Amino acid sequence: MLRVGCLLGLWSLAALAQAENVVNVYSARHYDTDDAVYADFEKQTGIQVNLIEGKADALLARLKREGRRSPADVLITVDAGRLFQAEQQDIFQPISSLVLSERVPSNLRHPDGLWFGLTKRARVILRSKDRVKEGEITSYEDLAKPEWKGRVLIRSSSNVYNQSLVGSLIAAYGEQQAETWCKRLVTNLARKPQGGDRDQIKGVAAGEADVAVANSYYYARMLTGTPEERAAAAKVAIVFPNQQDRGTHVNLSGAGVCKNAPHPQNAIRFIEFLTSHQAQKTFAAGNHEYPVVKGVEMASVLDHFGHFKEDTVNAAVFGRNNPTAIQMMDRAGWR
Q: Which of 124, 112, 120, 111 is nearest to 293 (CA)?
A: 120
Q: How does residue 323 score in pLDDT terms, banded at 50, 70 and 90?
A: very high
Whether 175 shows a pLDDT value over 80: the answer reads: yes
Phi, psi of 185 (to 5 degrees): -60, -45
Residue 244's CB is within 10 A of a number of other CB atoms, namely 9
**Percent over 90 (pLDDT), the chain:** 90
Q: Which residues contact 123 (CB under 8 A, 6 or more apart)?
A: 161, 164, 165, 213, 214, 215, 216, 248, 249, 250, 251
Q: Quick one: average pLDDT of 94-108?
A: 97
Q: Which residues contact 174 (CB under 8 A, 6 or more apart)?
A: none
**Percent over 70 (pLDDT), the chain:** 95
Residue type, 313: V
- The pLDDT assigned to 9 comes to 41
User: Per-residue b/e over 131-155, b at no fewer than 16 CB within 10 Å?
Assistant: ebeeeebbbbbbbbeeebeebbbbb
pLDDT in tens, 44-67: 999 999 999 999 999 999 999 999
Q: How does residue 14 score in pLDDT terms, banded at 50, 70 and 90?
A: low
- The pLDDT assigned to 7 comes to 45
Q: How far apart are CA 230 and CA 223, in angstroms?
A: 5
- The pLDDT assigned to 19 comes to 65
pLDDT in tens, 187-213: 999 999 999 999 999 999 999 999 999
Domains of the chain are 2-120+252-306 (3.40.190.10), 121-248+317-331 (3.40.190.10)
Q: How far apart are CA 252 and CA 49, in angstroms?
A: 23
- The pLDDT assigned to 12 comes to 56
Q: Quick one: average pLDDT of 281-298?
A: 92
Q: How far apart are CA 173 and CA 189, in angstroms?
A: 22
pLDDT in tens, 122-158: 999 999 999 999 999 999 999 999 999 999 999 999 9
